[in-house]
A and B are shown apart, each in its own frame.
Chain A
Amino acid sequence: MINFPTKNQLLQNFLSCINWEEKYIYIIDLGKLLPAFPENMRTQKYLISGCQSQTWIALTTTSIMSSHDKSIKLYGYSDSSIVKGIITIIFSLYQGLSLQEVANLDVKPFLINQLQLKQNLSMSRSQGIHLILDSIQSQAKCSM
């Protein structure tokens, strides 16, 4: 995930967008940073059911030496360019965190209040980006 922007970079880039068109172009560009989704993970288990787009989210863990905690790796894919971009934003916020930290972190306030992605987050049950967040949270809790 070394290519992902930091939280501050995200915020700065969003703030420098002069209109919504630029903001969406930036989101779509961010989606291009997502690494390829491992083919063997393209299964029902990782599919976000209810998403209008076909979206997969997978969380894997590795043990951190000399610690009880684990580090995480996130994989994501969507056939929607906008959703792909939002997945990148979400992954950026989780990068470098331990499993415990991921399970405890609520990224919604940042997405809604600072990046103002409210419209994308509060859509109907079939489109909600919150389904992606729920999936990451529940996969994190299952891995603990």
Chain B
Amino acid sequence: MIIYPIEKIRSDFPILNRMINKYPLTYLDSAASAQKPNIVIDSQTHYYRNEYAAVHRGIHTLSTESTNQMETVRLRIANFINASKEEIVFVKSTTEAINLIANSWGHNFVNYGDNIIISEMEHHANIIPWQVLSKHKNIVLHYIPLTPNGTLDISRLSELIDNRTRLLSISHISNVLGTINPLTEIISIARKKSDTLILIDGAQGIVHQLVDVQKLDCDFYVFSGHKIYGPSGIGIMYGKKELLQKMPPWIVGGGIVRNVSLIQDTTFIDSPLKFESGSPNISGIIGLGNAIEYINTIGVDNIYNYEDQLMRYAIDTLKKIPNLVLYGPSTRVGIIAFNLGIHHSYDVGMLLNQYGVAIRTGHHCAIPIMNYFKVPGMCRASLAMYTNKEDIDRLAHGLIKVQHLLNQ
């Protein structure tokens, strides 16, 4: 068995040395945004100091180097999820990727009488673009319902899906409950019943599980760089090549045209570049490339096994705290949702912060899940590759102290 180099990994993330309110930082909010290793931070500074130039246009050395770096990262990301280079589009976030699909594919290939299926566990980024499209196109939006243990009622999918279903858009891992959706089963049901497209929101999935878009046989897979130890403001939209070719660009402008005439129509270049108008976030792309390289060095499987063990430890530890209510299934990845008795998640989070423990509180941009569980909010502690047992112990001790304070 390979020993997981947790101390070395923690030393690669400089922010973990910080003190918050005189306590060592216990960062358990990685599902919102993961911290960055030195290689990601340093690569951005290095790029701006030594290599910066506009990409895809210049003929000079710096521009060529920048372009090469950007395209190397595209290939690295393609390899990371077993796609081809032409299928990787740089966007700014998961949210932008979903909006791109809704506005490009949705506005052109969905018509009155069609329907789209999402699920009750989606976060707002995978609900609102489809609500807006449904209103605009006068189509029906169905959702796969949640069950009390925080999984989806997959049996309902067969009833919902029909030959007018144009899209099934579903998260890989719930950002509130940590539920891993059985994508293989879901996609196989969908493929048997209709020729619907399948979009996987991988915002939480990509960081905790090995993703192979070909094995999955999804049409789109989208994720954000900042949750996978990369910079903010960079995201990825994977789309099957034939599909991307059919889709028109959404945000249009410079950098994506073959020819522009003021009299005749504009013609666009091929995907993926036709979806990347304007100047891209080059340093973000380079940083994301380094984040992927860092993950590859540690090994996705190693990270997964380590996080799995740590999650078991976390659940066992939290279960010992009186009145703590856990939400979600017994098997979960990366995320633990809970409430501390009757106490509001805001109070719990505010007080934990005083002990240097950072968690997320509130509705987590997934109000339908809160409505399902009939709570105004939840506390969410999320794990990452750099989280250790001491973090979990500090959370548990903090929660016991917080409960004591709130029970006064």
| B354–A82 CB distance below 8 A | no
* Inter-chain CB contacts under 8 Å: number: 41
In the bound complex, do residue A29 and residue B408 qualify as a contact, i.e. CB atoms below 8 Å apart? yes
Max chain A Cβ within 10 angstroms of own Cβ: one of B345, B346, B350, B354: B346
B298 beta carbon closer than 8 Å to chain A: no
Report B345 CB to chain A, min CB distance, Å.
8
CB distance from B367 to the nearest CB of A (A): 12
Q: Identify whether the interface residues of A are mostly helix, strand, loop, or mixed.
A: helix
Contact present for B354 and A81 (CB under 8 Å)? no
Contact A21 B347 (CB under 8 A): no
- Is there an interface contact between A53 and B405, defined as CB atoms closer than 8 Å? no
Any A CB within 8 A of the CB of B376: yes
Contact: B350 with A82, CB < 8 Å? yes
**Is A83 close to B, CB under 8 A?**
yes
Residues of B within 8 A of A20 (CB): 21, 354
B347 partner, pick from A29, A54, A80, A126, beta carbons under 8 A? A80
Query: Are B354's CB and A79's CB within 8 A?
Result: no
Contact A81:B347 (CB < 8 A) given known A20-B354, A25-B408, A29-B408: yes
Partner of A126 from the list B21, B354, B362, B376 (CB cut-off 8 Å) is: B362
| B408 near A28: Cβ-Cβ < 8 Å | yes
**Chain B residue at minimum C-beta to C-beta distance from A127:** B346
Asked if B115 is at the interface (CB within 8 A of a chain A CB), the reply is no
**A24 and B351 within 8 A (CB):** yes
Whether A80 pairs with B408 at a CB distance below 8 angstroms is no
**How many whole Å from B33's CB to the nearest CB in chain A?**
13
- Counting CB contacts under 8 A, is A52 at the interface? yes
CB-CB under 8 A from A126, the residues of chain B are 362
Closest approach, in angstroms, between the C-beta of A19 and any C-beta of chain B?
Answer: 10
Inter-chain CA distance A15–B394, complex, in Å, is 29
Q: A20-B354, A81-B343, A127-B346 in contact; A53/B408 too (CB < 8 A)?
A: no
Bound-complex Cα distance A32 to B408 (A): 11
Measured as residues with beta carbon below 8 angstroms from the partner, the interface class of chain A is 10 to 19
B376-A24 in contact (CB<8A): no
Size class of B's contact patch?
Answer: 10 to 19
Contact A80 B346 (CB under 8 A): yes
Q: Which B residues from 29 to 84 make CB contacts under 8 A with A?
A: none
With A20-B354, A24-B351, A79-B376 in contact, is A53–B344 under 8 Å at CB? Answer: yes
- A126 to B362 CA separation, bound complex (whole angstroms): 9
Tell me if A52 and B361 are in contact (CB < 8 A). Answer: yes
Residues A37-92 near B (CB distance < 8 A): 52-54, 79-83
Does residue B406 face the partner (Cβ distance < 8 Å to A)?
yes
What 1/0 mask marks residues of chain B from 341 to 368 whose CB sits below 8 Å from any chain A CB? 0011111001100100000011000000
> Min CB distance, A51 to chain B, in Å?
9
Instruction: Give the Cβ gap from B38 to chain A, nearest Cβ, in Å.
Output: 28
Which residues of A sit under 8 angstroms from B361, Cβ to Cβ?
Answer: 52
Given A20-B354, A52-B377, A53-B376, verify A28-B346 contact (CB < 8 Å): no
Q: List 29 A-B contacts (CB under 8 A).
A: A20-B354, A21-B354, A21-B401, A21-B405, A24-B354, A28-B405, A28-B406, A29-B408, A52-B345, A52-B346, A52-B361, A52-B362, A52-B377, A53-B344, A53-B346, A53-B376, A54-B376, A79-B344, A79-B376, A80-B347, A81-B343, A81-B347, A81-B406, A82-B346, A82-B347, A82-B350, A82-B351, A126-B362, A127-B346
A residues adjacent to B (C-beta < 8 A): 20-21, 24-25, 28-29, 52-54, 79-83, 120, 126-127
Task: List 7 A-B pairs, minimum CB-CB distance, nearest first.
Answer: A80-B344, A52-B362, A80-B346, A52-B346, A53-B346, A82-B347, A25-B408
Other than the known A20-B354, A54-B376, what 14 A-B pairs have Cβ atoms closer than 8 Å? A21-B401, A24-B351, A24-B354, A24-B405, A25-B405, A28-B406, A29-B408, A52-B345, A79-B344, A80-B346, A80-B347, A81-B343, A81-B347, A82-B347
